[in-house]
Amino acid sequence: MSFLNRVLRARALSSTETLLFVSRAFSSSSCVNSGTDLQLGASFPTKPPSSLTKISKDRNVQWVFLGCPGVGKGTYASRLSNMLGVPHIATGDLVRDELASSGPLASQLAEIVNHGKLVSDEIIINLLSKRLEAGEAKGESGFILDGFPRTIRQAEILEGVTDIDLVVNLKLQEEALVAKCLGRRICSECGGNYNVACIDIKGENGSPRMYMAPLLPPAHCESKLITRPDDTEEVVKERLRIYNEMTRPVEEFYRSRGKLLEFNLPGGIPESWPKLLQALNLEDHDDKQSAAA
């Protein structure tokens, strides 16, 4: 019996039909791993092979974004999604959408999320399968996954049904991560995401200073800002602890397969975005055109 069939029989999802769909949806756009080792050093990474640029031009990419909670996976994955024309699928958003829907999982998810715990594989894959099904109906192909996989088991499930081209592992020191999470705000009216934290950390032992400017809301949103219920210091630190315990092995899982690109964020978006593009061998023509205008 194949690995995938063993997963299906283990009831990784809530129904046989959903499981079969995930297999079909994930395998709809497969590729052959080039075998190139993308494991990079702890400092700023060098460029990956030029084959990455070829992948982005010839077909839709299948990428994964890893990183601690609050590191900015959603921000950078969303920007790349718009650049490359592939859907950005964030499992955190799927969970929050389900919470807001008052559906059958809402109360169960609220208990898990508000205590900083990991949502079970069954629930996450069930939500992901629904999102993929909706995207398939709209003609989507390729993806940038954000927040999945978070465990070795999830990585094995994903590997059993598709070939991931690249795994981008965003890294940021813990002091900055906690400050970013505590500074997050959402406009209760328009849903805009902002951050009131101004992070300025002095470099030590020759390391550069870390500065991240706040992302402040426009005037009409200032009075409507709310904090996510799980963005408390206790919950944030618990999420980081769980990440270190459960998800860091996922980094090694992809590192051993030569698919991991480690990227240390040097600062906020203005400093990090162009350097991330450089590391991915990509160019943002829209940014250049805006600058020229």
pLDDT tens string 125-143:
888 888 888 888 888 888 9
The residue-averaged pLDDT of 93-120 equals 83
pLDDT digits (tens, 9 = 90+) for 174-215: 899 999 999 999 999 998 989 999 999 887 777 788 889 999
pLDDT in the model for residue 208: 81
**Is residue 33 over pLDDT 80?**
no
* Average pLDDT score over the chain: 77
CA–CA distances in Å: residue 273 to residues 77, 79, 279, 287 = 11, 9, 10, 11
pLDDT in the model for residue 229: 85
**Is residue 76 over pLDDT 70?**
yes
pLDDT in the model for residue 24: 40
**Is residue 8 over pLDDT 60?**
no
Q: Closest Cα to residue 230, out of 222, 220, 238? A: 238
pLDDT in the model for residue 128: 85
Which residues have C-beta within 8 Å of that of residue 2, sequence separation ≥ 6?
A: 160
Considering the entire predicted model, what is its pTM?
0.71
**Is residue 20 over pLDDT 70?**
no
The residue-averaged pLDDT of 253-279 equals 94
What percentage of the chain has pLDDT greater than the value 90? 38
Q: What is the largest CA-CA distance in the chain?
A: 60
User: Looking at this protein, which amino acid is placed at residue 74?
Assistant: G
The residue-averaged pLDDT of 228-257 equals 90
pLDDT in the model for residue 59: 55
